[in-house]
Structure 1
Amino acid sequence: MFQAFYNGLSGMNSSSKALDVVSDNVSNMQTPGFKAKDVFMQSVETPSKGLGSQISEIHQRYNQGEISQTGNSTDLFIDGRGLFALQHGDERYYTRAGMMRFNEENILVDKQSGFEVIAFDHSDQIGVIDASDKLSIPAVPTTEIKLRGELSVDEGTASLEEIGYVADNGSYQYLNAKISRVGDSESWTVSILDGRNNEVGTGEISFESNGTLKSGSTTISIGLPNEQLISLSFGEPGSLSGVILGQPGQASSLKVDTVDGSTESPYSEVRIGERGEVTLIYGNGDESDLGTLALAKVTNYELFKTHKGHLLSRTQGTPDLVKIGEGLDAKLIGGAIELSNVDLAREFGDMMVIQRSYQASSRVMTVANQLVEQLYGGSGR
């Protein structure tokens, strides 16, 4: 009779602990990467009688959660087995929640914990994704400007204003060109002026009778501060693709064809490929490869345990870190994260069972208590 009282108490205690786990699952339904837990109980027995129940194991569910689109290029969903690997000092942690960002030191980290994301560098050595020395592409000064168009033999003069170029200090500046025919000859003088109307280049170009440039007189050298030299090219000898003489009656139509060099260009986008390649995209369209994310190869999820929140730690040993496609059959989906794998319908069902179990155990205690009262009450009469 007294044992029934304690058995009912142990049942209530076990049900209460089971409800704690279920409530934790439900409260983390919207936590990215959260893995729900299941509670298993076992009986407590002696050879002669049962002594109630107790929690035997709290088991983590590792099935894949639903995918949620975020639009953030550094959010990642692992389609397949595997875990993102993080490091904090000498400790390693693992997660399915691929919420990442660049921190103040321009290192790719887990957004919630701030732990560094482990990756392979270009030599396949373990390291981190560090963008600190690749935030922008340095300016490249202009060395060549190419022109195209026609010179009017009727007008005998032509001009081209605001020829943009990249100066030696990285700034964007302008030149002006003035071109005049030498009498009735096939030669034309060229004068190049800077933004302050200082002449920085002069020379002469000549044309054949068919209107194409003569060999040896197709370029003008421009000398700028800090010993920057720019070649102003009017085209190739005999070619119709550069500057040519127009037919009588045609007006001059000089244009800038191409200008090399570029101003400083900061990165405008981060792209992470389905195999984990992290690439910076710059404003001018250039790209820079920062490395490849490392994923932990998982053979048995039972060797992991929850460390804190969405982070897991290894209970024994250290998992191998590999690249996707090299020992790991998975792919990354950018702009998305993995939600929790909590099944709300399942949790509600478990809650109903736990509630009934608690009520039944409570009822056992009530009946045992009534029997004890009757026993001692009867003995008193």
Structure 2
Amino acid sequence: MMLDSIFIGMAGLTSYSRGLKTISNNVTNLNTPGFKTSHLQFADMFYQGDQAGSGERSQGQGVSTFGSTLSFVAGDFRSTGNPLDIAIDGRGFFVLRDSNGNLTYTKAGQFEFDDKGILVNRLGGEKVLAFGTDGSLQEISLKGLDTNKPQATTSVAFKGNLSSADTEHILNNVVVYDNAGAEHNLQVTFNGKTEDIASGEVKWDLTIKEGGTTLATGPIKFKNSVPMLGNDSLSLTFNPVGVASSTAVFKLGMDVTGYSLGTDSSLVLGTKDGYAVGKLVGQSFDEEGHLVVSYSNGQTAKPFQVALARLSSLDSLEQIGGNQFKAKNADLVSYGVAGAGQEAIRTGAVEISNVDLSQEFSDLILMQRGYQASSQMVSAANELIQQLFEMKGRG
């Protein structure tokens, strides 16, 4: 029986030692992005039954431990300012693929583009998977996204008042683009005004020049100080070499007026479309996990949306290190995207560890006491055995 007590005490020492190891691992990962706390499972060991009719009651054989369980309670979100750092506000996991084609999952959204222009996990280099415009699961690559093709200007609209008491109104530096992406810095002039008091019409000559060269000229008209429909625009066609021609329409906007407000007009450029060729200048993510590619011409593109893995049972996940998990049963994993009532993406931030220090220190005290008690039990049983041997020796 004394030997049984020693074995039971040793079982306690072993189990509480594992508990201390689990707590140590939790505490040391306090600042590890995406880390999930582990809790060691304790269980009493099997009981002995009646042996050979001895009539002895069943007796416990000590304590044992099973595998640890993971707590997937969300950690806090910490801002990093890095546009490629993202966190998931919800149950999903980012999907990674290693060089062997194995899929793993992580809450630590710390990504970067490698020298091949592929988005990878900053820590281990695994490729980050997303849904492309065709809806398939694929890696995120900047291939083919270096430039943004130009768009020709098709509409230029003005706003404000072109005073009927004015004689000439000039707008400089009106920039438009042709289909080749070439920039044209134009001068738009309103002059040559004539008035028909009986009909209430005022006609202006609209002239468009580039570098002193007249590109287009034509009349525009007001009636009762409002632009006349069908007489409120002038078209200009560009014919760059090697590409299709394009036509830009210069139009008096709906809020343009022609009231007599002195010799100074307030007519200015309102809206216009078109832009030059754009060069890639940055990448970031939006709140639905789209990769937002920004260009020097002010345009953006969203060619990918980060894939999120959802598991019907989180118990099927196990930690494999490197802030990653793998699924024990792939059939329990489904893939989707953020938004539409599902997860939201926190941009420029990471989810930090969900370790609760106060809880860990409380558990640490319990483990220490359990370890000390088990140690005292072994020492007491050992002393009793030594006393027994001494008594036998004296006999």
Report the TM-score when normalising by structure 2: 0.71
Q: Aligned letter for 1:19?
A: L
Q: Does the CA contact (< 8 Å) of 1:37 and 1:59 recur in 2? A: yes
Aligned counterpart for 2:343 among listed residues 328, 331, 338: 331
SS of equivalent residue, structure 2 residue 359: helix
- Contact 2:80–2:350 under 8 Å retained in 1: no
Distance (Å, rounded) in 1 between the aligned partners of 2:306 and 2:235: 50
Tell me, in whole angstroms, the C-alpha distance in 2 between the residues paired with 1:217 and 1:367: 105
**Percent sequence identity over aligned pairs:** 22
Q: Distance in 2 between matches of 1:350 and 1:139?
A: 63
Shift of 1:120: 3.1
Q: Quote the Cα distance in structure 2 between the aligned partners of 1:352 and 1:222.
A: 82
Q: How far does residue 154 in structure 1 lie from its aligned partner after superposition?
A: 7.2
- With over 3 angstroms needed to count, the CA separation of the structure-2 counterparts of 1:51 and 1:6, relative to structure 1, is farther
Give, as a single letter, the amino acid of the residue that structure 1 aligns with 2:28: S
Deviations 1:298-333 (A, max 9, x none): 23233221111421112234433233699x984225
User: Which position in structure 1 is the counterpart of 2:25?
Assistant: 24
Cα RMSD between the aligned structures? Answer: 4.5
Residue of structure 1 in register with 2:10 after alignment: 9
Name the CA shift for 1:8/1:324 in 2 (closer, same or farther; >3 Å). Answer: same
Q: 1:151 to 1:222 in 2, by over 3 A?
A: farther
The answer to whether residue 49 in structure 2 is matched with residue 64 in structure 1 is no
- The residue number in structure 1 matching 2:111 is 101
> Deviations along 1:44-83, whole A, 9 cap, x unmatched?
766669795464312213341333252766522342x443
SS in 2 for 1:349: helix
Deviation at 1:24, TM superposition (A): 1.0
Which residue among 84, 93, 115 is the counterpart of 1:83?
Answer: 93
Aligned length: 369
Q: Is the 1:78–1:330 contact (alpha carbons within 8 Å) kept by the matching residues of 2?
A: no
Aligned residue among 312, 315, 333 for 1:299:
312
Tell me which residue corresponds to 2:176.
Answer: 165
SS in 1 for 2:36: coil
Aligned to 2:130: 119
Residue 107 of structure 1, CA deviation: 4.4
Consecutive unaligned residues in structure 2, runs of 5 or more: 52-57, 197-201
Deviation at 1:270, TM superposition (A): 4.0
Pairing 1:308-319 to 2, within 5 Å after superposition: 308-319=321-332
The partner residue of 1:342 within 333, 355, 358 is 355
TM-score scaled by length of structure 1: 0.73
Instruction: State which of 229, 233, 241 in structure 1 corresponds to 2:250.
Output: 233
Match of 1:219 among 234, 257, 262: 234
Report the counterpart of residue 43 of structure 1 in structure 2.
Answer: 45
Distance in 1 separating the partners of 2:64 and 2:30:
23
Decide whether aligned partners of structure 1 residues 308 and 375 sit closer, same or farther in structure 2, where only a CA change above 3 A counts.
Answer: same
